[in-house]
Amino acid sequence: MKMKNILHRLLIVALVPALTLVSLPVRAQAGLISTEEVVADAGGQAARDKVADFLARDDVRQALEGHGVAGDEALERVRAMSDAEVAQLAQRVDEVPAGGDVLGLLFTVFVILLVTDILGFTKVFPFTRSVR
């Protein structure tokens, strides 16, 4: 009987704080998301996919490696770009004919990587010095 009382007390000591904590109100934060934000997010992902597919092509990878940039480094930099920068790059991909001006687009990627190196966001090229 004494053991039963001890078990009951231990159970009460454990359950009272647990039930008290469970009964406390939990605050939830919620906000409305506008249609423009949803569309912009979906469009941003589509642009990133388009640029990633372009950079995955063999001729583009060879041209990037010819300029001293590994294809994986270029993909990492595209992932780090803002949505506006990726949208601009995706627009340039759309403007390039199927077998056409790949060098113009690669030059754009090269300039973007060069500027981000100089600003200190990346370290792709060993010949740049960061301003930071």
Please give the radius of gyration of the chain, using alpha carbons only, rounded to the nearest integer.
Answer: 28
Q: What is the percentage of the chain residues whose pLDDT exceeds 70?
A: 89
Q: Which pLDDT score is estimated for 98?
A: 57
Tokens encoding 34: 């506008």
Query: Could you state, in order of their start, the residue ranges of all structural domains in the chain?
Result: 35-119
Burial of residue 93 (number of CB atoms within 10 Å: 0-12, 13-18, 19+): middle
Q: Is 68 left (phi over 0), alpha (psi -120 to 50) or beta?
A: left
pLDDT, one tens digit per residue, over 59-84 is: 778 877 877 777 788 788 777 777 77
Q: Which pLDDT score is estimated for 131?
A: 67
Q: Which residues of the chain have pLDDT under 50?
A: none
